């Protein structure tokens, strides 16, 4: 069995990746400090707990499992928190990733799949966001991810550690079988917050800004289903296994929806009113983040088949109703 080390495998995207890797015949070994992830979410392979900044622990895990590749999901990823606590983001994301890269290179690992973000692009008026768009992040979250992308290029040049970088747009939805799903504490993401408001777990959804330069005044995002997203990761792994060169891919559908459009769609899917209030802009938010790239489709053969608002919200709603983690 081919082993892949999955950092953040106990988190939202990492847990879905582990399921898809296991189905594709890999052994996903999760490395996670369980700070935002869940022991219960690790269902498809072994769990090794540890900090990304703990080099000795990482060395032990690489020696024990001898992974052929690393999929690196573990990171802090909230724009609001990054604006308030930039030091936390630089330390956790950048120092942690640097230690991981050093351990991977020392262990002779040659394949690395990295979770990056469209937040590295920042604000671009009337520009289609493709992989060559200048990266001008508006917040420490995006800046920390851009810095890790730079590190990857240096580690490839020096140590032959080839990489695939995926710049995610907005990830949503849940495993249709209900085995894993999105579970953050506290929850800040639009779709789960909205579902909490619909079933009374919070009083209302606050729309963060209604004065943006968009048709209805709210921010526009490109939503991609988590299962489609992790399929791209397996395709990225195979790309590296085939010996292909390091590459960056946007993962989005190319279609943007405003916050109000997402709220309307949720009303239809759940057949319920979404309690809403209007609030000020959230610092660090870009007006519009929509992928303008077809590279992942053309080169990896990636097709985001579940990424309709209707499918993402209904899969998230099913998880919201039936699934949860306790530990
Ligand atoms: N948003 C909102 N209210 C919320 C959460 C999010 O209006 O309670 C908006 C947010 O300002 C952004 C969009 O929904 O325009 C998506 O935000 P989310 O936090 O889900 O993802 P991000 O774009 O920050 O990665």
List average pLDDT for each run of 10 residues in the chain, which is 327 residues long. 96 98 98 96 98 98 98 95 95 97 97 97 86 95 97 97 97 97 92 95 96 97 98 98 97 97 97 96 92 97 97 97 83
Phi, psi of 52 (to 5 degrees): -65, -25
Distances in whole angstroms, Cα of residue 103 to Cα of each of 10, 30, 58, 65, 108 = 21, 16, 6, 13, 9
156 and 215 inside one domain: no
Q: What is the pLDDT of residue 158?
A: 96
25 and 64 inside one domain: yes
CATH number of the domain residue 143 falls in = 3.40.50.720
26 and 63 inside one domain: yes
Full-model pTM: 0.96
Ligand 1 pocket, mutate which of 118, 187, 189 (most atoms under 8 A from CB) = 189
Residues 59, 61, 66, 71, CA torsion sign: negative
Structure tokens at 207: 């729309």
Residue 167 lies in a domain: yes
Q: What is the pLDDT of residue 130?
A: 96
Helices within 242-308 (DSSP H only): 259-270, 295-300
140 and 269 inside one domain: no
232 and 270 inside one domain: no
Using a 6 Å cutoff on CB, does residue 162 contact ligand 1?
no
Q: What is the pLDDT of residue 128?
A: 82
63 Cβ neighbours under 8 A, 6+ residues apart = 107
CA of residue 179 to ligand 1 center, whole Å: 25
140 and 14 inside one domain: yes
Q: How many CB atoms lie within 10 A of CB 15?
A: 33
CATH number of the domain residue 269 falls in = 3.90.25.10
Distances in whole angstroms, Cα of residue 149 to Cα of each of 63, 112, 155 = 25, 11, 10
Ligand 1 pocket, mutate which of 129, 259, 288, 309 (most atoms under 8 A from CB) = 259
Active-site residues, by number, are 141
Distances in whole angstroms, Cα of residue 302 to Cα of each of 157, 186, 202, 249, 294 = 28, 32, 37, 10, 9
Cβ atoms of residues 224 and 300 within 8 Å: no
User: How many domains in the chain?
Assistant: 2
Residue 327 lies in a domain: no
**83 CB-side CA count, 13 A:** 10
109 and 239 inside one domain: yes
> What is the spatial distance between Cα 50 and Cα 132, in angstroms, rounded to a whole number?
35
> What is the spatial distance between Cα 7 and Cα 23, in angstroms, rounded to a whole number?
18
Q: What is the pLDDT of residue 1?
A: 75
Q: What is the pLDDT of residue 126?
A: 72
Q: What is the pLDDT of residue 70?
A: 98
160 and 208 inside one domain: no
Residue 184 lies in a domain: no
Residue 178 lies in a domain: no
**Residue environment code for 189-219, b if the CB has 16+ CB neighbours within 10 A, otherwise e:** bbbbbbbbbbeeeeeebebbbbebebeeebb
196 and 91 inside one domain: no
Structural domain including 262 reads 190-221+254-322
326 Cβ neighbours under 8 A, 6+ residues apart = 40
């Amino acid at each position: 069995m081919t082993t892949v080390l999955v950092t953040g495998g106990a988190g939202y995207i990492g847990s879905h990746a582990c399921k898809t890797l296991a189905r594709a015949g890999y052994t996903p070994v999760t490395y996670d400090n369980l700070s935002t992830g869940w022991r219960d979410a690790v269902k498809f392979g072994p769990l090794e707990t540890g900090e990304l900044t703990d080099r000795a622990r990482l060395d032990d895990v690489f020696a024990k499992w001898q992974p052929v590749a690393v999929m690196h999901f573990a990171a802090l990823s909230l724009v609001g928190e990054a604006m308030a606590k930039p030091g936390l983001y630089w330390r956790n994301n950048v120092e942690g990733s640097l230690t991981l890269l050093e351990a991977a290179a020392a262990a002779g690992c040659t394949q690395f799949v990295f979770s990056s973000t469209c937040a590295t692009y920042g604000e671009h008026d009337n520009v289609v966001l493709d992989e060559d768009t200048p990266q001008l992040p508006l917040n420490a979250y995006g800046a920390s991810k851009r810095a890790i992308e730079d590190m990857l290029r240096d580690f490839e040049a020096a140590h032959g550690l080839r990489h695939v970088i995926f710049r995610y747009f907005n990830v949503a939805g849940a495993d249709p079988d209900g085995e894993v799903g999105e579970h953050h504490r506290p929850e800040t993401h639009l779709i789960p917050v909205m579902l909490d408001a619909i079933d009374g777990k919070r009083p209302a959804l606050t729309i963060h800004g209604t004065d943006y330069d968009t048709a209805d005044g709210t921010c526009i995002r490109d939503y991609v289903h988590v299962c489609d997203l992790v399929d791209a990761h397996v395709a990225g792994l195979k790309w590296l296994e085939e010996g292909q060169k390091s590459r960056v891919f946007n993962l989005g559908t190319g279609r943007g929806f405003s916050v109000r459009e997402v709220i309307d769609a949720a009303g239809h899917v759940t057949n319920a009113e979404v309690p809403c209030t209007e609030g000020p802009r959230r610092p660090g938010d870009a007006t519009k983040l929509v992928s303008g790239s077809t590279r992942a489709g053309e080169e990896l053969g990636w097709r985001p088949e579940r990424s309709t608002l209707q499918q993402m919200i209904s899969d998230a709603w099913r998880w919201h109703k039936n699934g949860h983690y306790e530990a």
